[in-house]
């Protein structure tokens, strides 16, 4: 684990978002220009990995409510679900690590926090859903147990039952 001191906290006006650079402009721009608005409008909840030693944002992720059309899931999973057209899920909308902090396992560290935070929530969610931005992101999520939705190569999910087993 990195030798830095970190805290994961809700994005606030005291965080320096201007200097964040992850190597993907759309993710950088989102943090700088949109994340605060999404939080205030209850559209998404951004959490930042704050490096206490440098007072910089080392990484961030966003969570939002979503739903999954049951027909989009594999038959084996559908058979165990109620016969609702939609089931609740949590969208991991964005996850990024600043270039200065990459290669230290912080993406996986953030993902563990995501999964734990969702598992501990008192709101029902059947799975965590991600829309991978590119092949590298998809490989990251697949490495961590996410499964591709049939016919949707960039959309992946991880069932809550699997997450619960990982933390038991």
Q: Is the dihedral of CA 38, 39, 45, 51 positive or negative?
A: positive
Structure-block tokens of residue 83: 């016969």
Distance of alpha carbon 117 from alpha carbon 149, whole angstroms = 23
Neighbour order of strands in the sheet with 6-10: 6-10, 45-51, 56-69, 86-97, 127-131, 152-159, 147-149
Of the candidates 6, 60, 141, 157, the residue annotated as catalytic is 141
61 catalytic, yes or no?
no
The distance from CA 128 to its chain's CA centroid, rounded to whole angstroms, is 8
Task: Report the catalytic residues.
Answer: 141
């Amino acid at each position: 684990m990195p030798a830095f001191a970190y805290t994961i906290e809700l994005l606030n006006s005291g965080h320096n978002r201007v200097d964040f650079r992850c190597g993907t402009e759309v993710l950088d721009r989102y943090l700088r220009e949109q994340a605060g608005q999404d939080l205030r409008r209850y559209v998404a909840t951004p959490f930042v990995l704050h490096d206490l030693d440098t007072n910089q944002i080392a990484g961030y992720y966003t969570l939002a409510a979503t739903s999954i059309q049951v027909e989009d899931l594999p038959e084996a999973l559908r058979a165990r679900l109620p016969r609702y057209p939609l089931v609740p899920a949590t969208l991991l909308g964005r996850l990024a690590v600043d270039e200065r902090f990459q290669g230290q396992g912080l993406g996986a560290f953030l993902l563990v926090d995501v999964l734990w935070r969702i598992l501990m929530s008192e709101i029902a969610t059947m799975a965590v859903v991600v829309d991978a931005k590119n092949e590298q992101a998809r490989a990251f999520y697949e490495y961590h147990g996410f499964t591709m939705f049939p016919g949707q190569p960039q959309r992946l999910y991880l069932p809550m039952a699997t997450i619960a087993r990982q933390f038991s």
